[in-house]
Amino acid sequence: MARSKNKAAKASDVRARVQSQVVRYALELVAEDMAVTLMRTARSTVIKEVQDLSCALFDRDGRVIVQSSHAPMLLAGSTLTMREALDALADRPLEPGDVIIANDPFRGGQHLMDVMMISPVHLEGALIGYVGAVAHHSDLGGASPGGVAGGLRDIFSEGLCFPFVKLYQAGLENRDLFAMIENNVRAPHKTLGDLRAQAAACLTGIRRFLEVVGRFGLKTITDCNDMLIAETEARLKAGIARLPDGVFVGEDTVDDDGVSDRPIPIRVKVEKQGERIVVDLTECGDQVEGNVNCPLATTLAAVQYGFVVALDKHVCPNHGCFNIIEVKTRKGSVVDPERPAATAARTNVSLKVQEATLMALAQMLPGEIMAPSHAQISHVAFVGTEPGTDRAFIYNDIFGGGAGARPAKDGRDAQDTHLARFMNTPTEMIEHEYPVRVRCYELVPDSGGAGTYRGALGVAREVEALTDKVVFSRYGDRQKFPVKGADGGGEGRPGRFVLNPDDEARSLKSKGVDELRRGDVVRIVTPGGGGYGAPSERRVDLLADDLMNGKITEGHIAAEYGEAMLDKVKAWLAGGIAAE
């Protein structure tokens, strides 16, 4: 009898787990439908092409259940913003059709340009959950066009900061708020269109969420949500169990803050004892005057990302990710700044936190973690007036660089960052929408670090202004301190911004603002990734293949691998020797 009961209990547990996965994918499809709605109805290329966005579903307690397959860094932001929203709205409950707008970096947000919208989901008059969408907007006012200028000194210079207010009430636009926004942005036809697209994504999410509830039943959805969160937490804790006890440290450096030339230290200390892991960030540099300060939401995302990909990259990214580690920060530091710190360029700190976390994990998991990547975002904006009109244009673009080499493979060339996973902006779309010409878009030879496995190549794009008085604002990093290699691998080459590379070339600051004239060309070069393993162990045929494909030059082989290796490569290409 006992054996029969145990067998029945196991069968019931298997059915419940299968059901939870079916519900998971049904809910993830809702989040993906929200994202598709947002991309198809948005006006700005940074949303519809780059896909700088994320959509998520929450339970009635504000816990993330599923997230769309876009920017991992926005998971922590969604969770913290939702927590702050529930507190802010405790005395004014949301009604069906309401859409809340928020982007405060000091109340769970990322930076001002990443706007979050939240809508409640009601069933028969009762609140059953929430849907949320985050998207990067091309312009929200502020001192610099495009919202991406390095060197801004406080949050007030960066644009509009929304508290938790209703952009839509009962499905209708809040006309007063829309009017206020329209009066404070440079390209209202773009910004207002993107806001409406984001609200449409939330309203789509409500409808599709209710369809899933109707298909499975509310109790089943609730039970499966609990199971999915518990499963994520359990699987990550199982991964922690195989990590060694001890103290492990990863370090990286941010070039500067765009105001001074002082480098900013990033130090991540991982302390593991039994089932407890504490990630200590208190030794990171102090809050700075420039706008690279990284709000807590993005800092947490950087640490969580490292542990999730190291422990079990196939888990459902939900609230369970928040329960596995303790993260210690210091208020007033660059990774946990205090208001009114400027935060627009915060990714160039968060990505160093991510890399330092992965460096520490590489010591805990030898041979399992890739070499450091470019760990920066070169975010640029070209802003001006469309020729023959008085209408503003804002061309925002985001560039990645070279990924780190893997323990048994070369790095992937021209990759975005771990935390963002943005898409490429097609040249045809750029030239169709904006008065600029893309003169080239190419891989940068020799930019990847040497090694048994080569670091990936960075990218370069040259953009020519086709009209006068174009404001070129940007922030980038990794232009002073190159990407480190791993296990004896070589460094990746730093990036740079160059004005008029073919005619009196002038290097530009990595964070700043300049005005371009018609015919001026900006060359944007991003860093390469670090190599993995000793260069002396690299196979001759791999070097020969890279040389034939223009990824490296003979001079690079001679300098990084030696003259003798160059002779072997030449012999290999001539058909004289076998691969080693």
pLDDT the model gives residue 66: 92
pLDDT the model gives residue 559: 97
CA distance 471 to 392: 11
Q: Please tell me the pTM assigned to this model.
A: 0.93
- Terminal-residue alpha carbon distance, the chain: 64
Task: Report the pLDDT averaged over residues 438-455.
Answer: 97
pLDDT the model gives residue 323: 82
User: Which of 353-357, 545-549, 552-556, 571-575 has the lowest average pLDDT?
Assistant: 571-575
Task: Report the pLDDT averaged over residues 562-577.
Answer: 89
pLDDT in tens, 8-18: 666 667 888 88
Structure tokens at 407: 């323990």
CA distance 215 to 280: 45
Residue 213 parent element (H or E): helix 188-216
CB 140 within 8 A of CB 191: yes
CB 37 within 8 A of CB 197: yes
pLDDT the model gives residue 503: 85
pLDDT in tens, 116-151: 999 999 999 999 999 999 999 989 998 886 678 888
CA distance 222 to 212: 12
pLDDT the model gives residue 294: 96
CA-closest candidate to residue 405, choices 535, 309, 552: 535
CA distance 66 to 42: 23
pLDDT the model gives residue 146: 66
Residue 353's CB is within 10 A of a number of other CB atoms, namely 32
pLDDT in tens, 229-284: 999 999 999 999 999 999 999 999 999 999 999 999 999 999 999 989 999 999 99
Task: Report the pLDDT averaged over residues 382-394.
Answer: 92
Task: Report the pLDDT averaged over residues 56-83.
Answer: 82
DSSP symbol at 70: S
**Residue-by-residue DSSP string for 495-506:** -EEEESTTSS-E
Task: Report the pLDDT averaged over residues 387-416.
Answer: 91
pLDDT the model gives residue 4: 61
CA-closest candidate to residue 412, choices 460, 377, 371, 467: 371
CB-count exposure of residue 220 (10 Å: 0-12, 13-18, 19+): middle
Amino acid symbol at 272:
K
CA distance 446 to 462: 18
62 Cβ neighbours under 8 A, 6+ residues apart: 79, 82, 83, 85, 86, 130
Tell whether the model's pLDDT for residue 445 goes beyond 90.
yes
Percent of the chain with pLDDT over 90: 80
- Helix 175-182 to helix 188-216 angle (10° resolution) is 140
Name the 3-class secondary structure at 54. strand
Strands 276-280 and 326-328: parallel
Tell whether the model's pLDDT for residue 580 goes beyond 50.
no
**Residue-by-residue DSSP string for 503-552:** SS-EEE-SEEEEEEPTT-EEEEE-PPPPPBS-GGGS-HHHHHHHHHTTSS
Task: Report the pLDDT averaged over residues 90-95.
Answer: 88
pLDDT the model gives residue 81: 82
Cα separation values, 404 from 219, 269, 450, 460, Å = 45, 21, 11, 18
Which is more confident, 204 or 579? Answer: 204
Tell whether the model's pLDDT for residue 414 goes beyond 90.
no
Whether the link from the prior residue into 340 is cis, omega within 30° of 0, is yes
Using only C-alpha atoms, the chain has a radius of gyration, in whole angstroms, of 25
Tell whether the model's pLDDT for residue 478 goes beyond 80.
yes
- State the chain's mean pLDDT as an integer: 92
Sheet holding 172-173, edge to edge: 64-67, 53-59, 126-136, 114-123, 99-102, 165-169, 172-173
CA-closest candidate to residue 434, choices 472, 401, 491: 472
CA-closest candidate to residue 336, choices 279, 281, 271: 281
Binned at pLDDT 50, 70 and 90, residue 579 comes out as very low
CA distance 532 to 520: 39
CA distance 33 to 30: 5
Percent of the chain with pLDDT over 70: 96
pLDDT the model gives residue 504: 86
CA distance 414 to 458: 5
114 Cβ neighbours under 8 A, 6+ residues apart: 52, 74, 77, 103, 134, 135, 136, 137
Which is more confident, 309 or 363? Answer: 363
Cα separation values, 397 from 138, 200, 275, 507, Å = 10, 24, 42, 20
CA-closest candidate to residue 527, choices 471, 477, 468: 477
Binned at pLDDT 50, 70 and 90, residue 77 comes out as low
Residue 488, phi-psi category: left (phi > 0), alpha (psi -120 to 50), beta (remainder)? left
pLDDT the model gives residue 73: 67
